[in-house]
Amino acid sequence: MPANQLLAWIERAAKGLEAYPKERGYLVGVSCGVDSRVLLQILLDTGFINLVICHLDHRLRGSDSERENRLIRQLATRLKLPLVQEKVQGWPPKLSLETAARQARQQFFARTAKQFGASHVFLGHHADDQVETFLFNILRGAGSIGQAAMRTEARISIDETDLIVVRPLLHVWKQEIREYAKKRRLKFSEDVTNAENKFTRNRIRNLLVPEIERILGRPFKSNLLRLCGIAADEAELLRQLTPTWWELDELPVRDLRTLPVALQRRVIHEWLTRKGIDDVSFEDVEQIRSMLTNQKVAKVNLSADYSCRRRASKLFIAPQ
């Protein structure tokens, strides 16, 4: 990569970080992978010093996991940054491993944020992750194109803890991140399970995306990333036009019923996401919409842990 191109994306990432006061405390999700290692370095280089390194061991890779734990402890010691490490103690039987792992990470970040009084967590998702996530969500039936993409900044509520997730590298390709790490001589370790195709996202990354590129040509990923950006901008406009009822613990059925269908879907999807519900599908949203007019439907199962219920003209989230 030319030096000026390398500098351009770094400057763009740094400019995006200007919105976050550097004197505040922030969490950073860190593994031994190149993405989070580069993110951590850029945060330090741009003046963020009150950082807490957060690492969750999923206990899926045996001795490799233990080695990663040790390397991250050494990194935190060398950088003189506080470190919070936890291990997943068990997996819910009714969830896919991918969904359970994501929930475990979110709950871990929520606990750590509460412990340190932090409101933001920086994550190292990049442009390739965005393309894969967009495809995954569209193919499984996302509520809309705008809601299929990850956001540079997203607000979620986990276990009654509000958390802002920030992804400064969402516009940067994996190869660019690798080249930056090489230039800075940053040490990192590859997760060998990324090459395995037993998980859906891995199959999208390793099989589907290369095949589409072979058929359509290399601009495919760039075009799709641009579509993600356009969709995100349009989703943000729709969000501004939509009543902010998603901030409520309960949704008012009568008021929600008066909205156009598109805004009903938007409010419900955003409300579920803010409440920490993962993988909200079009079917989830439509089933909840049916509760607005069908008095016989008083409960919709959303996951192994949560359901949406109607009581006294209000919709609310309840544990199963």
Query: Which CATH number belongs to the domain containing residue 37 in this structure?
Result: 3.40.50.620
Domain's final residue, options 205, 227, 258? 205
Note the pLDDT of residue 144.
Answer: 64
Which residue has 């901008």 as its token pair?
A: 233
Instruction: For residue 44, tell me if it sits in a domain.
Output: yes
Supply the pLDDT for residue 190: 80
Q: Which residues have CB under 8 Å from 152's CB, separation 6+?
A: 16, 166, 167, 168, 170, 232
Q: How far apart are CA 91 and CA 111, in angstroms?
A: 18
Residues in the chain with pLDDT values less than 50: none
Q: Are residues 145 and 19 in the same domain?
A: yes
Q: Are residues 307 and 258 located together in one domain of the fold?
A: yes
Both 187 and 59 in one domain: the answer is: yes
Last residue of a domain, one of 179, 205, 231: 205
Query: What pLDDT, on a 0 to 100 scale, did the predictor assign at position 125?
Result: 96
pLDDT at 99: 78
- Quick check: is 312 in a domain? yes
Query: What phi, psi does 301 have (nearest 5°)?
Result: -75, 130
Note whether 27 and 86 are same-domain residues.
yes
pLDDT in tens, 239-293: 777 767 767 889 999 999 999 898 888 889 888 888 878 778 888 899 999 999 8
Domain tally for the chain? 2
Do 159 and 269 share a structural domain? no
Strands 51-57 and 83-87: parallel
Clarify whether residues 21 and 88 are in a common domain: yes
Query: 265 and 189 share a domain?
Result: no
Say if 215 falls within a structural domain. no
Asked, for residue 278, whether it belongs to a domain, the answer is: yes
Percent of the chain residues past pLDDT 70, beyond the cut: 94
Report the CATH number that the domain containing residue 253 is assigned in CATH: 1.20.59.20
Q: What is the pLDDT of residue 5?
A: 60
155 falls within a domain = yes
pLDDT of residue 110: 94
Q: Is 93 inside any structural domain?
A: yes
Residues 267, 200 share a domain = no
Residue that terminates a domain, selected from 205, 230, 262: 205
CA atoms within a 13 Å half-sphere pointing along the CA-CB vector of 246? 23
pTM: 0.83
Tell me: do 21 and 92 sit in the same domain.
Answer: yes
The pLDDT score that the predictor gives to residue 141 is 74
* Segments forming the whole domain that contains residue 116: 3-205
pLDDT at residue 114 in the model: 94
- Are both 201 and 138 inside the same structural domain? yes
77 within domain boundaries: yes
Residue 38 included in any domain: yes
Q: What is the pLDDT of residue 177?
A: 94
